[in-house]
Amino acid sequence: MGSTPEDPCRVLIADDEAPARALLRELIAAHPRLALVGEAADGLEAVELARDRRPDLLFLDVQMPGLDGFEVLELLDRSVGVVFTTAYDRYALRAFEVNAVDYLLKPFTEARFAQALERAELRLGRQRPVSATALSTAARPDGVYAARLVIKDGAKVEILPVAELDYARAQGDYVELVSGERNWLKEQTLQDLEASLDPARFLRLHRSYLVQGDRLTRIEPTSKDAKAAVLISGVRIPVSERGLARLEAWLGRAGR
């Protein structure tokens, strides 16, 4: 992506506090190589503007209405550079420190802003080293799991409470999320999704399938060696040998 004078770096701001946006606007305006392409006051607007204005770099607040910073990150193209901005949120800070994503701690100096910018320019156009899910998993207190999933569904953002997810299925670089009659594709690995969900509720029954435990009704043999799990909805999910072992361990834990 361009960072030459003719082709300035396109920057987007997402922060719900007007003074915080104004500060970034001022710092960006003072920088010749930066062009501000938009300002979002909440997470949903940030996703929308990122889609329409194609920024190279996004200054992203963590706590915002609609979607938080980590959820916004999940819905962005992986090529967009991101600098998180936050005042104080020890879990978010933990995530940044562990995962080497650049961040600005509010309030910050002009020098610190310039430094973040330099680092971001070096990374522009490259893929982020860690997945957004890994980052937001690290930003939750220990023992706390995702309560909802965010999915980009064409132009709109779908929010799926975890309780409504029946199962997820690996589809190449995507996962297919299924809830009753509805299903979505999300750019995420099944491993990443599994890591963000409560292991007491979700079971990896197969390399390609993650199932919400309370949706299971029974296990049926399908051939001499193969077995399938039948969900309440009637869907049949293949169960691998290791999946069967996990299911037995899970049933033991659940005390059934």
Partner 1 sequence: MHPVLSERRALVAYLLAWLGAACLPAWVLASPGDTRFPLALAAAAPPTLLLGVGVLPVYYLCRAVPLRWPGLGSVLRAHAALALAGAAAWWGLLEGTASLLDGVAATGLAGEVERRWGALLALGVALYLAVAAFYTLAGSVQRARASERRAAAASLRAREAQLAQLKAQVHPHFLFNSLNAISALTVQDPRKARELCVQLADFLRGSLALGERGTVTLADELQLARAYLEVERIRLGDRLAVDIRVSPQAGEVRIPPLLLQPLVENAVTHGIATCARGGTLAVEARTTPGLLVVTVANPFDPRAPPRHGAGSGGVGLANVSRRIAACYQGASLSTRREVDRFTSTLVLPIDREEARDGEHTRRPVPGPDRR
Give the DSSP letter of residue 106: S
Contact window for partner 1 (CB under 8 A) among 76-84, 127-135, 137-145, 172-180: 137-145
Site for partner 1 in 87-116 (CB under 8 A): 87-92, 105-108
Q: Is 154 in the site for partner 1 (CB under 8 A)?
A: no
Please select the residue that binds partner 1; options are 14, 36, 39, 45, rule is CB under 8 A.
Answer: 45
Tokens of 151: 């999915």
Ordered alpha helix ranges (H), the chain: 18-29, 43-53, 69-75, 90-99, 110-123, 132-138, 190-196, 241-254
Q: Shortest distance, CB of residue 15 to partner 1, whole angstroms?
A: 10
Q: Is 166 in the site for partner 1 (CB under 8 A)?
A: no
Output helix, strand, coil percentages for the chain, rounded to the nearest 5. 35, 30, 35
Q: Is 191 in the site for partner 1 (CB under 8 A)?
A: no
Q: What is the CA radius of gyration of the chain?
A: 21
Pick 68 or 192: Cβ nearer partner 1: 68
Please tell me the distance from the alpha carbon of residue 76 to that of residue 253, in angstroms, as a whole number: 38
Contact window for partner 1 (CB under 8 A) among 11-19, 76-84, 178-186, 192-200: 11-19
Please tell me the distance from the alpha carbon of residue 251 to that of residue 256, in angstroms, as a whole number: 6
Please tell me the distance from the alpha carbon of residue 115 to that of residue 109, in angstroms, as a whole number: 10
Give the DSSP letter of residue 172: T
Q: Shortest distance, CB of residue 61 to partner 1, whole angstroms?
A: 10
Pick 33 or 94: Cβ nearer partner 1: 94
Q: Shortest distance, CB of residue 69 to partner 1, whole angstroms?
A: 9
Please tell me the distance from the alpha carbon of residue 255 to that of residue 85, in angstroms, as a whole number: 45
Q: Is 26 in the site for partner 1 (CB under 8 A)?
A: yes
Amino acid at 97: E
Q: Is 41 in the site for partner 1 (CB under 8 A)?
A: yes
Please tell me the distance from the alpha carbon of residue 114 to that of residue 91, in angstroms, as a whole number: 25
Q: Is 194 in the site for partner 1 (CB under 8 A)?
A: no
Residues lying near partner 1 in the complex (CB under 8 A): 16-20, 22-23, 26, 41-45, 62-68, 71, 87-92, 105-108, 139-141, 144, 147-148, 159
